Amino acid sequence: MIEMRGFFTRANRTWGFARHIPPRQMVRRLALSWRRQMERIVAPSLDGPALLAADAPLPLFEPRPSGGERTGEGWRFTFLHRREASPALIDWRLGGVGPVNQLWRMNLHYFEWAEGIDDRAFVEAVEQWVAANPPFARGASDDAWNSYAVSIRVLVWMQQLVARRGALDDALVKLLAGQIGRHLRFLEVHLETDIGGNHLLKNISALLWGSAAIDGGDAKRWRATGLRLLRRELAQFLPDGMHFERSPSYHAQVLGDLLEIRHALGGDPLGGALDTVIGRAAQVVTDLAHPDGGPALFGDAGLSMARSPRVLREAARAISGRAFQARAVFDQPEGGYAGLRSANDYFVVDAGPLGPDALPGHAHGDIGSFEWSIAGQRMVVDQGVLTYVAGDARQAARSAAHHNTLAAPGADQGDFFGSFRLGKRCRIVRRDVQCRDAELVVTVEHSGFIGPAGGARHYRRIEARRDRIVIDDQLDRPLAGAAISFLVAPGFEVRQTADGIELVGADATCAIASDGEATIEGAVWWPDMGVERVTKRVRIALAGRSCRTTLTIVARKES
């Protein structure tokens, strides 16, 4: 009986996830799987002419901080805040096998770490990679030859080959250009149209940069394919400029892709459509940045998962001639975010849907959640992400109980499972945002919690001013164990007082008063992949079916 119940639970979850996937994407997934099986039996040729164009574009962005270092004994690599050592002959399975280590290994194959190393080490690493990683070997698609990794790596190779061309001999330039051609021929028949989203934009960026960097007939084909897909996939950006996956970090990544496409092609090949999207997306990046310069951490996001908002803003200004300024108050009606900014204070709330139905992998149960910075310092923070590996930490990162909103045991905003799956999910049934002078009023209501104790609808109204946040929470029916959470940033002392809770930091003190009973519990914050910082969470039990909570800054030091 238990086994049957488990079977039906898994089947129900799978159907809740799969029914939102367009049939054409399912067919494409099957076709790609079949192609990879056949390629292991009869490996197709990727050879063909590929010469580096004389006017191949230089990189748009400065090199990233190097995650790789050539030492006297070998190499040191640091990704996801984890360091591993390798002998001189790089072990491309470094970090360990299995899904727990896969993202770390993929970062090794991305080659972004090589942007900051010297020319000799760069050439050595590329030559070693080519010798050790044939494209159609068993397991090649796990780390080295999946289309996402191919897109990132070949873009780095193209950009670095041009940047270093003066220091490399002609034979080596020719050899590396040939390898780039092989990568792009592989990519054009393995495009991730089965996934779409940020993955497909990475593929498009690589093809279009290749069309500008490589001479020959293949480049014309890459350009035609890339432009056709780009024209269609610009629809990933909502009318307010937010990328439809709704993660501030992935939004920043895809904006970087668009900026590189625009730079490589020397203009807007879509008659102004690309520039329009870039302008809107750059404003979103600007508005979703905290005073410390980092992004808001809603959904799957991290402080270093993408280039910084400042870098992207400056690149967009160089291309458009437009200066992007953070707005004092803003609303993104389609993306769902709304915010209020004053000097070095910043408040931002998620009042939008969980994510796109067909691609919910980066969605979290954070409807109604918010972040708050005071005097330039983050005070109330979203949970963040520690890992993409399925398990307790991944489940916690996505669940409503670990965001600054309302939840209850057995009731979540969606049926989150696995690493990136989402079954049944609630919907936004009411959303109203009023942007006033120095005040933001946000009302959001979802259709009801999912899970064994689900069904109750949650209504939240937030009145935000510079020094005062008033939150009204209501349920349309009782929900056992319902509570509201506030995750406090490390660096603040959290203490109980006769009147409620105080958050005491170096530059500000916040008092929290509520109708419900407030308790303080130990917690962790995940501001970046692989980073865990000990902190506190304030948990407020719902008094009946409604609760009012007021956060007030009672002391501050202006920065």
Give tens-digit pLDDT for 418-452. Answer: 999 999 999 999 999 999 889 999 999 999 999 99
- Note the pLDDT of residue 6: 61
- Note the pLDDT of residue 180: 97
DSSP assignment string, 132-199: H--TTSTTTTTTTSSHHHHHHHHHHHHHHHHHTGGGS-HHHHHHHHHHHHHHHHHHHTS--TTT-HHH
Assess whether pLDDT exceeds 80 at residue 315.
yes
Mean pLDDT of 510-527: 96
- Note the pLDDT of residue 487: 98
- Note the pLDDT of residue 97: 87
Assess whether pLDDT exceeds 60 at residue 559.
no
- Note the pLDDT of residue 1: 53
Give tens-digit pLDDT for 538-556. Answer: 999 998 899 999 999 999 8
Work out the percent of the chain whose per-residue pLDDT is above 90.
89
Mean pLDDT of 221-240: 98
| pLDDT greater at residue 97 or residue 299 | 299
CA distance 129 to 258: 28
Give tens-digit pLDDT for 355-393. Answer: 999 999 999 999 999 999 999 999 999 999 999 999 999
As given in the structure block, the two tokens for residue 199 are: 């993955």
Mean pLDDT of 219-224: 97
CA distance 318 to 262: 11
> What letter represents residue 26's amino acid?
M
Cα distances (angstroms) measured from residue 171 to each of 178, 180, 413, 474: 11, 14, 58, 70
pTM: 0.96
In this structure, CATH architecture of domain 43-233? Alpha/alpha barrel (1.50)
Work out the percent of the chain whose per-residue pLDDT is above 70.
98
Domain residues of the chain, as ranges?
1-32, 43-233, 351-431+443-556
Mean pLDDT of 81-100: 93
CA distance 190 to 282: 30
Q: Do domains 43-233 and 351-431+443-556 have the same CATH topology?
A: no
- Note the pLDDT of residue 9: 67
- Note the pLDDT of residue 2: 57
Assess whether pLDDT exceeds 70 at residue 5.
no
Mean pLDDT of 306-335: 95
- Note the pLDDT of residue 98: 87
DSSP assignment string, 259-314: HHHHHHHTS-TTTTHHHHHHHHHHHHHHHTB-TTSPBP--SS--TTSS--HHHHHH
Pairing mode of beta strands 428-436, 421-425: unpaired
Buried b (16+ CB within 10 A) or exposed e, 188-217: bebbbbbbbbbbbbbbbbbbbbbbbbbeee
Assess whether pLDDT exceeds 60 at residue 226.
yes
Assess whether pLDDT exceeds 70 at residue 4.
no
CATH 2.70.98.70 fits 351-431+443-556, yes or no: yes
Element (H, E) at 470: strand 468-475
Mean pLDDT of 46-67: 93
Mean pLDDT of the chain: 95
310-314, 522-526, 554-558: range with lowest mean pLDDT: 554-558
Please say whether the beta carbons of 214 and 52 come within 8 A. yes
Mean pLDDT of 462-482: 96
DSSP assignment string, 80-133: TTEEEEEESS--TTTT-SSGGGHHHHHHHHH-GGGGGS-HHHHHHHHHHHHHH-
Give tens-digit pLDDT for 132-147. Answer: 999 999 999 999 999 9
CA distance 468 to 553: 6
- Note the pLDDT of residue 65: 83
Please say whether the beta carbons of 491 and 472 come within 8 A. no
8-17, 83-92, 522-531: range with lowest mean pLDDT: 8-17
Other CB atoms within 10 A of residue 501 CB: 23
**DSSP 8-state secondary structure symbol assigned to residue 516:** S
Mean pLDDT of 263-276: 96
